[in-house]
Amino acid sequence: MSEPLPAPRISDLARSRGPGGVDQGTPDYLAGLNPEQREAVETTEGPVLVLAGAGTGKTRVLTTRLAHILATGRARPWELLVVTFTNKAAREMRERITALIGPSAEGLRWLGTFHSVAAQILRRHAELVGLKSSFTILDTDDQERLLKQLLEAANIDTKRWTPKSLSGLIDHWKNRGWTPEKLPPSEDFANGKGHALYAAYQARLATLNACDFGDLLLHNLTILSKHADLAEEYRRRFRYILVDEYQDTNVAQYLWLRLLSSSTGNVCCVGDDDQSIYGWRGAEVDNILRFEKDFPGARIVKLERNYRSTSHILGAASALISANKDRLGKTLWTEDQSGDKVRVRGVWDGEAESRLIADEIETARRPHAGEPGLKYKDMAVLVRASFQMRAFEERFVLLAIPYVVIGGPRFFERAEIRDAHAYLRLIQSEDDDLAFERIVNVPKRGIGETSVQKILQIARHNGVSAMTAVRDLITSDELQARTRTALSTFVRDFDRWRALAADTRHWSLTEIVLEESGYTDMQKADRTTGQTRLDNLKELVQAMQSFETLGAYLEHVSLVMDLDRGAGDDAVQIMTLHGAKGLEFPLVFLPGWEEGVFPSQRSIDEKGEKGLEEERRLAYVGVTRAKQDARISFAANRLVYGRWTSQLPSRFVDELPMAHVEAESDTGYYGASAGMKEAKSRWDDTPVFGSGYSSPGWQRAQAYTAKQSPTDRPARKALIEGEGRLIATADPKAGGNWARGERVFHQKFGYGNVRVIEGNKLLIEFEKAGEKRVIDTFVEKVT
């Protein structure tokens, strides 16, 4: 179906030349591929599913396949549709293809994330769904504020029915490909109001000429299914389609792909059903399990030779994943026969666990038996949930082990960055009411909530933007004189900045705006977080410099919600298992393998057997990140949300085969298989930390944190005068662990501070009564 096309730059690559420039027949880029990999690369016509196990060279196959298609003249770069999930994956793919075929890779204009490609298509046909091609893309924050207004307008209790949950629900609906018209009646929110709210939200988005992330795909679906001619045009345009991480596609993405391809087309999906870990955000493993039905006669290529891990690591991982029922089934193998067994350790509590891991990190760094030691960055601690990270951070700080936490709050989601963006958006377009609302009183300029509501109300009533309404209001007498003055300054500032924008580079404009608006001053006044925020803003100004225009910058950030910041120095990586997908490390630590923590209880409660299988895939992903060594650990006692809880080892520990595991425990439990019964009974008899204290008369004193309280808040005072320990709580219902400097409340004597602790005795001094009381109780974990 494709006639060969001239591809000048690429043809250099297509054939390797011997020393004398003699054509040897086999293209360079195919050299070194194993037979399966080669099949995956060379099966270019018709549908193909590449099942790529962990560490089987997937990215290499993917990029080589693209290079092959281009090099053999089957298509030109702009005739390829290549979609990934993350910007990082898209970027990496582009880089690697460029390395293979040179600058002609720039022609790959349809290579990107699902959302960025969908956005490109939507911009071309926006009018078909009632948008202008200049539509803005809202982030979750904008979304939630908009929904809050709608909920309030509909008189719905936003505490019981939070904007957040509605936003999550709408997102879920969009992921399933449901527009308000197609929403099944069984789906609902706030007792029968779900459908109307969803429709109202979409209508509001349309008036704002905006859409959210889900809409990018959803509008595509509407356009492509209603306009068969357009869909056909795209199907013709995309001669070859390639989808990465197919196991993570949701229904909307799946439908989108179906509309852009035909069932006999050249569609290549790459994925691994065993690594599907995003079911909770709409991914359908079924998409990959069903591939052969969707694309009859599809070729299935399994990549099973692993180039990453030792045989023990693979053995442990394979045994684990074999406990899952819903899978296509692959058996990874390796020629590597070196390496140690996976080590499993049971320890007393979370603290012992972090101590153990820190020790092992230091040991691994030391040269041993002629082998050089590992670097910090060769090691990673992979946790199930982020609350588990803190224990490691504390330990690493204490021992001066350098570490980085990967993940955490993302750059463009930080409040200060969003504030800055809101200023810029409002300068760029006066109609951006959401931006207006966000910063009209940030920093405080005497425009209270009441005035803002009034402005918005009038704006909506008159069908104009908030900024226009403000211009009218300044000249009327509907607002207090003081508010009017504040507003006219506000408007004047923006007029000035807008004029300035014409002949100022956008990053300088940003600096000027932040300075003149008083935003920088506001942050400087905040001693707790101000400096970090100012640093972030500086980074923002820096980042803006690589964009031509303000518009280009804003389009970029709305799709790419993070900055690719430097990989950093030599440091141990701490991250969640989800965050570790696609990465590899010589030495991997997998702490917290306890029932309820991992597998997560909530996952099992909500999704039952399916949830458990996904947790197991997560365990599989974790173990297969390791190249040389994997170390699993679990604790008998753990502090979870401030409560000491006794823990049982994860069922995943039991599923590990002794042949590939070496287990040992400080507390009586030996982990895998052999001697399990006896070991388990010993574990069950192990005494657990006593915890909890309660006594009549004591009430909970609310904890304040440095972030929440400025220096003059009571808790803060105690922090400064006391021993540097933050105020904790003493909750008679829950029991609590008290420490020096902690603040407590007694019905009779009021607030008091814990001054001295000796053994089990507490001395508490009360502020008002001048009372001193000695409390005899069981105290532990005193710092």
Partner DNA sequence: GATGCTAGGTTTTTT
Partner DNA sequence: ACCTAGCATC
Which residues are known to be catalytic?
A: 58-59, 244-245, 275, 625
**If you search the block for the tokens 């799946």, which residue do you land on?**
254
Of the residues 73, 446, 530, 668, which one makes contact with DNA according to CB under 7 A: 446
Q: Does 603 bind DNA (CB under 7 A)?
A: yes
Least gap, CB of 390 to DNA (angstroms): 8
3-state secondary structure 170-202: HHHHHHCCCCHHHCCCCCCCCCCCHHHHHHHHH
What angle, 0 to 180 degrees and rounded to 10, lies between the N-to-C axes of helices 228-237 and 213-226? Answer: 110
Q: Does 456 bind DNA (CB under 7 A)?
A: no
Of the residues 32, 184, 448, 690, which one makes contact with DNA according to CB under 7 A: 448
Q: What is the DSSP string of 96-157?
A: HHHHHHGGGGGG-TTEEEHHHHHHHHHHHHGGGGT--TT-EE--HHHHHHHHHHHHHHTT--
* Spatial contact of 709 and 527, defined as CB atoms under 8 Å apart: no
**If you search the block for the tokens 């054509």, which residue do you land on?**
23
* Spatial contact of 289 and 51, defined as CB atoms under 8 Å apart: no
Distance of alpha carbon 191 from the chain centroid: 31
What angle, 0 to 180 degrees and rounded to 10, lies between the N-to-C axes of helices 213-226 and 251-260? Answer: 40
Q: Does 107 bind DNA (CB under 7 A)?
A: no
Distance of alpha carbon 268 from the chain centroid: 26
53: annotated binding-site residue?
A: yes
**CB atoms closer than 10 angstroms to residue 191:** 8
Of 331-339, 397-405, 441-449, 659-667, the window that binds DNA (rule: CB under 7 A) is 441-449
Q: Does 602 bind DNA (CB under 7 A)?
A: yes
Of the residues 128, 404, 442, 559, which one makes contact with DNA according to CB under 7 A: 559
Q: Identity (one letter) of the amino acid at 353? A: E
56: annotated binding-site residue?
A: yes
Q: Does 518 bind DNA (CB under 7 A)?
A: no
529: annotated binding-site residue?
A: no
Of the residues 407, 582, 722, 732, which one makes contact with DNA according to CB under 7 A: 407
Least gap, CB of 90 to DNA (angstroms): 7
Which stretches does DSSP call E strand in 18-70? Answer: 48-52
Q: Does 728 bind DNA (CB under 7 A)?
A: yes
Q: Which is nearer to DNA, 115 or 425 (CB)?
A: 115
Question: What is the side-by-side strand order in the sheet with 750-758?
Answer: 698-699, 743-746, 750-758, 761-766, 772-776
724: annotated binding-site residue?
A: no
Of 57-65, 346-354, 369-377, 595-603, the window that binds DNA (rule: CB under 7 A) is 595-603
Of the residues 177, 579, 592, 649, which one makes contact with DNA according to CB under 7 A: 579
Q: How many residues bind DNA (CB under 7 A)?
A: 58
Least gap, CB of 358 to DNA (angstroms): 20
First and final C-alpha spacing in the chain? 74
* Spatial contact of 467 and 478, defined as CB atoms under 8 Å apart: no
Q: Identity (one letter) of the amino acid at 46? A: G
The site map against DNA for 128-157 (x = CB under 7 A) is ------------x-----------------
- Cα separation, 553 vs 506, in Å, equals 9
Q: Does 491 bind DNA (CB under 7 A)?
A: no
549: annotated binding-site residue?
A: no
55: annotated binding-site residue?
A: yes
Of 186-194, 254-262, 437-445, 531-539, the window that binds DNA (rule: CB under 7 A) is 437-445
**CB atoms closer than 10 angstroms to residue 430:** 21
Q: Which is nearer to DNA, 85 or 291 (CB)?
A: 85
Of 266-274, 506-514, 625-633, 721-729, the window that binds DNA (rule: CB under 7 A) is 721-729
Binding-site residues for ATP sit at: 52-59
Residues within the interface to DNA (CB under 7 A): 85-88, 113-116, 140, 158-159, 213-214, 280-281, 384-387, 407, 410, 441, 444-449, 559-562, 575-576, 578-579, 600, 602-603, 606, 639, 641-642, 702-703, 705, 707-708, 710, 712-714, 726, 728-729, 731, 736-737
